[in-house]
Chain A
């Protein structure tokens, strides 16, 4: 047995050595074939970058369009999935992520910007609006429900097994900008926050509420293609007085926020095609919804993005100037 093992060991060492030797001298074959295709028209050199991917369809749409345009211009792009805020800014500081294409954080990154970990690159053209919504049928049946002052009057409608005898308030996922608890306590609302954990869980809640005509009160936002399919009515709280969620009193509504692009100094200093794309990228809520709708109906994000790029070559050309 011992001898047998030794033979095996010897053979494997030999084979490994041979493999290393061979691999050291013959690597050019595939590279020649592979590099012939994609980098054909890219005259200007472009570096390799990582785009943060946040988990909502709108974000995927924006990030995928940037990815495809950058790739077509010779950049090497990878995508890193992370939750919004904290971890992502940390990732930018450590260099494992270079760009955020749609940040709702309202300035939460300031601390990282002060340390030089990231730079604010301006808005991406989308306007974000977060709010609390009910299915349209409720607004039709109880017309005054959309006024936040009347929420307590209807709290009984929203009671579930999970909500401790109060109305269920389905909150956005932890990674999103949320101030539900503050709104409830500041406005003395008779509701319990139920954390949903994911955008899809919210979509499920609203889809079910619309189909079965059951009551539901939950967090939602625009731009979101879902609103075109299942109409929701927004509850109106007093006009907003904040941009940074940490400073919000909770008495007022979520603000309309222009969505921001963030990038690392590495991107800003490179001055290559990717720098241009990140600096100039901007599109409308409508543009985003088109791509998002395709992704949601099952199209591969890369294909959906390419479709929009082909149809909007003028806009894309402007980003590259």
Chain B
């Protein structure tokens, strides 16, 4: 390009040239897409199978036929299923379902609350204990005691099993570079994979029920446990390790006495993250028969009952806050280095004994008295909560219809339809060529090869058109997320007060299951692609805002001061100094935004967004299309890997040392 000769551009020839190239490429793409509109789109009618999806359906059928006496089932899958089912049910019998011949679980509601209060008090402090008791009680007051306990039991079961597998692997990966290298790609994959994708395949092997749900949850939470444990072990400073090695400690002693204790803080953080991951899975796991709070949420989605869905979602949030705060309080407690005085310790001991006795009284009462066993029906705030949220949604639907309808129309007609015509309704080879060129410019040759390979694989499955529909929605939702997310992120990055005000909202947004707000979205926008997009935006904004805010805060103070002293305006400071300096965070935020959006856009299949998500759902309910549903899940995975890889290469390129 001729721009190179111009002196002004010479300051940053590479970036300018790149943006020109990208711009030119887009123009050419749009023009070509117009010319070849509607040709070679590979659209496959919904009831039709491609060769590949038909084959996948046959495989699924043969797996099903083998369930009772196939070798792999008899000696591998079925024993695992029975073990997990048994394990889950033991925990459920403790707090959720009738135990044996009894009509109540081992612990009635008062007993459960007493135990929670005592345990939280023992690992953190009295304030936390009261908060945990109050939050658990609130779940009961929402009229969802049994469902909440089922969820808690499922979460515990999945967490215990995840930690039992994840921590040893994590320790191993922490000690050996080879192991770390081997597990990292698998961990990456498990984190990109939208949860909806592996439900159907898992159910094929482990049938519908708690076992499948628990195993699905573990797929999601084990990587987190592995990663943080390995990270913790690796974070132990070398000097104590060397010191003890020089004194002749064995490897085992080193691990037990030095490495594990010194990384215990990170490992507890891993436990915390594992718990949160497992809990966030409970709603979607209800699709394959998991008991608990997911059930009322899914019910409410299907009959579009905003209030009921909100009540159940609130209970999930309460449990999430309770578990999050109690486990993170355990971390903070580990951080206090002031040694307690003799008197303090004595007081603590007495307090613990009193708390223990109170807990035991609670347990005994809950097994002896009906009022302490069954959560009192008189305490029920679910009606007013449901009515209030119903009223809120009705108010928005009636009074802001111009706004909601206008927004939906603007995005659909202005962005979604044009982009869909370029990506999905033009020939497949044009789209692949252009995406590959784009990733060549942005991420380099390796990212181009990855994109081209993955996209060709999509073509081979026969679900190209649907994949592009989903891709379009993902891009539009991510664009909108980034616009809102960067504005809010800059705001909280620059103002502590803004951070403090937004934090609780962001936290709640991250724990509230996406299904819960999918319900009112359906009311606002009707069955449409925009409903899915709006849900994806709400789901991914918190993570984007947090990453961007963090990035802005980490911009070196001297850079900001230098700019302020030379008289930059606030706008100049943000656009010329802070945002460019936080470029890496912005890229990371985009990557995370895309992955989060993709995970939710697929549940848009529930609300008329079509694409791969709809095929996944269809495959789950129509036997003749089950292969298509499984393959659609696989295409979502390919899409996720592609998006993630391009972003990774872009980050790598941008953070490479400049010469």
A-side residues, CB < 8 A to B, are: 1, 3-4, 7-8, 11-12, 14-15, 18-19, 22-23, 26-27, 29-31, 33-35, 53, 55-57, 80-88, 90-91, 93-97, 108, 111, 115, 161-162, 170, 173-175, 179, 181-182, 185, 193-201, 204-205, 245-246
B153 to chain A, nearest CB (A): 15
Contact A111/B623 with A11-B353, A91-B289, A195-B605 known, Cβ cut-off 8 Å: yes
Give the residues from 145 to 168 in chain B that come closer than 8 angstroms, CB to CB, to chain A: none
Residue of B nearest to A21 (CB): B360
Which residues on the A side are within 8 Å of B412 (C-beta)? Answer: 161-162
B436 to chain A, nearest CB (A): 27
Q: In the complex the two chains form, is A108's CB within 8 Å of B413's CB? A: no
Give the distance in Å from the alpha carbon of A162 to the alpha carbon of B499 in the complex: 39
Contact A204/B336 with A15-B118, A23-B107, A34-B373 known, Cβ cut-off 8 Å: no
Q: In the complex the two chains form, is A193's CB within 8 Å of B203's CB? A: no
Q: In the complex the two chains form, is A204's CB within 8 Å of B104's CB? A: no
Q: In the complex the two chains form, is A87's CB within 8 Å of B288's CB? A: yes
B71 part of interface (Cβ distance < 8 Å): no
Residue of A23, A30, A57 with most partner-chain B CB within 10 A = A30
B548 to chain A, nearest CB (A): 32
Q: In the complex the two chains form, is B528's CB within 8 Å of A162's CB? A: yes
Q: In the complex the two chains form, is A197's CB within 8 Å of B289's CB? A: no
Give the distance in Å from the alpha carbon of A63 to the alpha carbon of B208 in the complex: 20
Which residues on the B side are within 8 Å of A34 (C-beta)? Answer: 103-104, 370, 373-374
Q: In the complex the two chains form, is B608's CB within 8 Å of A196's CB? A: yes
- The interface-forming segment of B224-232, B294-302, B319-327, B581-589 is B294-302
B349 part of interface (Cβ distance < 8 Å): yes
- The interface-forming segment of B21-29, B188-196, B251-259, B519-527 is B519-527
A sample of 22 inter-chain contacts (CB < 8 A) reads A3-B345, A7-B345, A8-B123, A19-B115, A22-B363, A27-B367, A31-B102, A35-B103, A55-B303, A83-B287, A86-B620, A86-B626, A87-B288, A87-B289, A90-B207, A93-B67, A108-B622, A161-B409, A182-B47, A198-B606, A204-B526, A246-B622
Q: In the complex the two chains form, is B359's CB within 8 Å of A19's CB? A: yes
0/1 interface trace, chain B 517-545, chain A, CB 8 Å (1 if under)? 00000110011110000000000000000
Which residues on the B side are within 8 Å of A3 (C-beta)? Answer: 345
Give the distance in Å from the alpha carbon of A85 to the alpha carbon of B303 in the complex: 18
- The interface-forming segment of B273-281, B470-478, B610-618 is B610-618
Q: In the complex the two chains form, is A30's CB within 8 Å of B108's CB? A: yes
Residue of B nearest to A54 (CB): B302
Give the distance in Å from the alpha carbon of A86 to the alpha carbon of B118 in the complex: 44
B-side residues, CB < 8 A to A, are: 45-47, 65, 67-68, 102-104, 106-108, 111, 115, 118-119, 122-123, 203, 207-210, 286-289, 295, 298-299, 301-305, 336-337, 339-340, 345, 348-349, 352-353, 356, 359-360, 363-364, 366-370, 373-374, 409, 412-413, 417, 522-523, 526-529, 605-610, 614, 617-618, 620-624, 626
Q: In the complex the two chains form, is B373's CB within 8 Å of A96's CB? A: no
Q: In the complex the two chains form, is B370's CB within 8 Å of A33's CB? A: yes
Give the distance in Å from the alpha carbon of A95 to the alpha carbon of B523 in the complex: 36
A31 to chain B, nearest CB (A): 5
Residue of A nearest to B357 (CB): A15
Q: Which of A81, A115, A185 contacts B286 (CB 8 A)?
A: A81
Which residues on the B side are within 8 Å of A246 (C-beta)? Answer: 622-624
Give the distance in Å from the alpha carbon of A116 to the alpha carbon of B629 in the complex: 25
A168 to chain B, nearest CB (A): 10
B533 to chain A, nearest CB (A): 12
Residue of A nearest to B299 (CB): A81
Which residues on the B side are within 8 Å of A7 (C-beta)? Answer: 345, 348-349, 352
Give the distance in Å from the alpha carbon of A34 to the alpha carbon of B373 in the complex: 10
Give the distance in Å from the alpha carbon of A26 to the alpha carbon of B122 in the complex: 25
Q: In the complex the two chains form, is A195's CB within 8 Å of B527's CB? A: yes
Residue of B47, B111, B118, B339 with most partner-chain A CB within 10 A = B47
Which residues on the A side are within 8 Å of B295 (C-beta)? Answer: 81
B105 to chain A, nearest CB (A): 10
Which residues on the B side are within 8 Å of A173 (C-beta)? Answer: 302
Q: Which of B119, B370, B623 contacts A108 (CB 8 A)?
A: B623
Q: In the complex the two chains form, is B368's CB within 8 Å of A83's CB? A: no
Contacts A34-B370, A108-B622, A174-B618 supplied; 7 other A-B pairs, CB < 8 Å: A26-B367, A82-B208, A86-B620, A108-B623, A162-B527, A194-B527, A195-B609
Q: In the complex the two chains form, is B286's CB within 8 Å of A198's CB? A: no
Residue of A nearest to B372 (CB): A30
Which residues on the A side are within 8 Å of B359 (C-beta)? Answer: 15, 19
A51 to chain B, nearest CB (A): 13
Q: In the complex the two chains form, is A91's CB within 8 Å of B299's CB? A: no
Which residues on the B side are within 8 Å of A175 (C-beta)? Answer: 617, 621
Give the distance in Å from the alpha carbon of A35 to the alpha carbon of B607 in the complex: 44
Closest 3 CB pairs of A and B: A200-B304, A94-B207, A29-B368
Give the distance in Å from the alpha carbon of A225 to the alpha carbon of B45 in the complex: 33
Q: In the complex the two chains form, is A11's CB within 8 Å of B356's CB? A: yes
Q: In the complex the two chains form, is B360's CB within 8 Å of A22's CB? A: yes
Residue of B nearest to A89 (CB): B623
A229 to chain B, nearest CB (A): 16
Q: In the complex the two chains form, is B122's CB within 8 Å of A11's CB? A: yes
Give the distance in Å from the alpha carbon of A181 to the alpha carbon of B614 in the complex: 14
Q: In the complex the two chains form, is A91's CB within 8 Å of B605's CB? A: no
Q: In the complex the two chains form, is B209's CB within 8 Å of A94's CB? A: yes
Q: In the complex the two chains form, is B364's CB within 8 Å of A26's CB? A: yes
Q: Which of A11, A185, A197 contacts B527 (CB 8 A)?
A: A197
Q: In the complex the two chains form, is A174's CB within 8 Å of B302's CB? A: no
Residue of A nearest to B363 (CB): A19
Q: Which of B356, B369, B621 contacts A85 (CB 8 A)?
A: B621
Contact A87/B203 with A55-B299, A185-B45 known, Cβ cut-off 8 Å: yes
Which residues on the B side are within 8 Å of A200 (C-beta)? Answer: 302-305, 522
Which residues on the A side are within 8 Å of B356 (C-beta)? Answer: 11-12, 14-15, 18
